[in-house]
């Protein structure tokens, strides 16, 4: 019986996993990395270069992307709820259908960002960024069912 239990544990413990949760990727170069569909809850990407990375469909709640370089990074269909994006650089980043609810992104740089269907509920952004986003904001977030324009409060600018 011990042999069967031991064999079961060895097999279970050696199975490949797409869970990278609570890992520290701080100050690394992960250019072109593919994390698509991964569980990255609470992961740290402090000052990490994620240019051209694929983080689509990821669970990133409570992750830290402070100062991360996210040029041409795919974050579509991901959960970025309560994420720290402060001082991150988003240039050509795809945030389509992403939930950013309650995230911190005040001094984040946004250039050429795709925001169709993104949810910015309770995300404190500078007014110039909100105005810029409202010029092209469309869609409804598939997870929260909130309209992007509504979450940016475009009608109140």
pLDDT digits 0-9 by tens, 72-95: 999 999 999 999 999 999 999 999
Fold of 19-157: Pectate Lyase C-like (2.160.20)
Q: Percent of the chain beyond pLDDT 70?
A: 86
Note the pLDDT of residue 6: 39
C-alpha distances (whole Å) from 109 to each of 17, 67, 72 are 33, 10, 13
What does pTM read for this prediction? Answer: 0.86
**Max Cα separation, the chain?**
69
Q: Is the pLDDT confidence value at 1 over 60?
A: no
Domain boundaries, the chain: 19-157
The pLDDT score that the predictor gives to residue 16 is 43
pLDDT at site 19 = 53
**Statement: residue 39 has pLDDT above 70:** yes
- 93 in Cβ contact with 72 (< 8 Å): yes
């Amino acid at each position: 019986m011990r042999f069967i239990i031991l064999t079961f544990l060895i097999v279970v413990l050696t199975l490949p996993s797409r869970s990278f949760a609570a890992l520290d990727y701080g100050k690394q170069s992960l250019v072109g990395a593919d994390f698509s569909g991964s569980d990255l809850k609470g992961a740290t990407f402090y000052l990490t270069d994620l240019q051209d990375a694929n983080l689509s469909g990821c669970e990133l709640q409570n992750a830290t992307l402070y100062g991360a370089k996210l040029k041409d990074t795919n974050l579509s269909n991901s959960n970025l709820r309560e994420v720290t994006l402060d001082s991150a650089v988003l240039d050509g980043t795809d945030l389509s259908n992403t939930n950013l609810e309650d995230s911190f992104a005040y001094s984040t740089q946004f250039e050429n960002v795709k925001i169709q269907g993104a949810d910015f509920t309770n995300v404190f952004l500078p007014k110039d960024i909100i105005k810029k986003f409202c010029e092209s904001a469309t869609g409804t977030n598939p997870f929260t069912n909130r309209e992007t324009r509504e979450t940016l409060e475009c009608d109140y600018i």
